Amino acid sequence: MTRYILASLLAVAVVGPPALAMAQKPNVVVVFCDDLGYADIGPFGSQSHSTPVLDQMAKEGMRLTDFYSTCSVCTPSRASLLTGCYPRRVNMHVDEKDLCVLFPGARKGLNPSEITIAELLKEQGYATACIGKWHLGDHPDFLPTSQGFDSYFGIPYSNDMNRKEVPLPLMRNETVIADRVQNDTTITTQYTDEAVKFIKANRSKPFFLYLPHTAVHLPLVPGIEFKGSSKDGPYGDWVQEIDWSMGKILKTLKSEGLDENTLVLFTSDNGSAREKQGSNRPLRGRKGRTDEGGMRVPCVVRWPGHIPAGASSSEIASTIDLLPTFASLAGAKVPTDRIIDGKNIWPILSGEPDAKSPHKAFYYYQMDQLQAVRSGDWKLFVAMDSKKRNWGKPEGETEQKLFNLAKDIHEDHNVAAANPEVVKRLEGFAEEARADLGNVERPGKGQRQAGWVEKPSPRLLKK
């Protein structure tokens, strides 16, 4: 009888009903690193960094080996995670000056009319907090507290965006509490302490914690106590501090009696940017490119009793899938008045036998340009006009190339000539994306407007 009840509950969870048949809605913690490479943590083969906490997390949860960010740079990847949409869908693929990320004082930002994970879960009674790097607009209309988060603590840009006119600020909610924090070696500790406080303060209600780390984006500022702790210089030291931070968070969940009712997901916004520090092995490429090393990222997910321990999945999944998946677990409804590109991947996470990726195709955009498409094991780099910009395309190539990622993960062998039907099928998917999401000068019929203000409002410390 007990087995029957348990099986029934798991079946309900897989389907994703209006509300899960469990005593309490699950807490959700998403840790989103900055520029962390595919092989920079132990569960994905790191030889330079000691990550015992993440190693144990993988043993107690699931590794997603074919998990993707939707872009290989900062702003677009964050827009996708929170909205469940490709960056071009929500017009966050370029800034107002056609650059790849937003800068201090931008007039552009994530449109407040977009529906974020935080907003969906807040409607279900969740406490919500964003702690860390935001990078989706610094005008008050675009800040986390205008996008469904009850509170915000962190740096609104990348760690390298320290400007004479806008010194890199540290914020609490809408207020700058310090500036010139670019070289602050305590930033990871501060984020971690804030996360622990949030968890303890909301232990009696469901919560969503979004922790987008400043680490390991340049300049490298690991904590003093971690200096020299790795075999990989300051970069490795900071990776190991991230692991320490994960340990503090997981320990807090256990001490507060929340461990078995909390889904924790750890991943990165894109691949490592560096050649000598950080590793995307065995993938080709790096941050800013559309080969696998730019967009395939490490991902570990843990939820004791719900996600099978020591599991691994090679099904295609992405940050865009988090919104519909978390919505299902929380009993929220995915918006039906707009296109949401993500899919519910709970069947994969729950270890359902023979669970497959819900994506018939996954698209690799670099800024405004569609450069590749993946379907199953096949990845096609589409042919492009060399007169148009090809930023991020491997070696700036413009010709069509096909790779079987199951046999050639490093994308070394172009097999397009031997597989014309595969090429034709994937080009068909690519054309669907061009029509829906657009491509370079071609607007997409399914695109929505970004947020826009006429007067910029950079975050400055009031003297």
Is the domain of 382 the same as that of 333? no
d(CA 9, CA 203): 24
10 inside domain: no
265 inside domain: yes
pLDDT one-digit tens code per residue, 397-426? 678 999 999 999 999 999 999 999 999 999
Of the candidates 71, 74, 85, 130, the residue annotated as catalytic is 74
State yes or no: pLDDT of 275 exceeds 70: no
Q: For this structure, is 74 an active site residue?
A: yes
Is the domain of 169 the same as that of 45? yes
Is the domain of 337 the same as that of 371? no
State yes or no: pLDDT of 204 exceeds 70: yes
What pLDDT does residue 17 have?
38
11 inside domain: no
Is the domain of 373 the same as that of 324? no
Is the domain of 331 the same as that of 371? no
Which residue, 294, 324, 349, sits at the end of a domain?
349
State the average pLDDT over residues 37-65: 97
d(CA 206, CA 201): 11
State yes or no: pLDDT of 302 exceeds 50: yes
pLDDT one-digit tens code per residue, 86-116? 999 999 998 777 678 999 999 999 999 999 9
Q: For this structure, is 100 an active site residue?
A: no
What pLDDT does residue 8 have?
36
The pair of structure tokens assigned to 134 is: 């935001």
1 inside domain: no
Is the domain of 313 the same as that of 175? yes
d(CA 55, CA 225): 21
Which residue, 349, 380, 408, sits at the end of a domain?
349
128 inside domain: yes
Is the domain of 411 the same as that of 323? no
Is the domain of 320 the same as that of 213? yes
Is the domain of 301 the same as that of 228? yes
Question: Which CATH number goes with the domain that contains 49?
Answer: 3.40.720.10
Query: Which residue is associated with the tokens 């190539």?
Result: 397
Which residue, 327, 349, 371, sits at the end of a domain?
349
The answer to whether residues 342 and 321 touch, using CB atoms and an 8 Å cutoff, is yes
280 inside domain: yes
What pLDDT does residue 316 have?
98
Of the candidates 49, 71, 93, 135, the residue annotated as catalytic is 135
Is the domain of 220 the same as that of 341? yes
453 inside domain: no
- How many folded domains does the chain comprise? 2
* Beta strands per DSSP E along 132-280: 151-154, 169-172, 175-179, 207-212, 262-268
H or E stretch including 234?
A: helix 233-255
d(CA 227, CA 222): 7
Is the domain of 138 the same as that of 234? yes
316 inside domain: yes
Name the pTM for this structure.
0.93
Our CA dihedral for 402, 407, 409, 412, rounded to 10 degrees, sits at -50
Query: Which residue is associated with the tokens 């964003």?
Result: 130
Confidence of residue 274 (pLDDT cuts 50, 70, 90): confident
Is the domain of 228 the same as that of 184? yes
Question: Which CATH number goes with the domain that contains 380?
Answer: 3.30.1120.10
Give the residue numbers spanning the domain of 423: 362-443
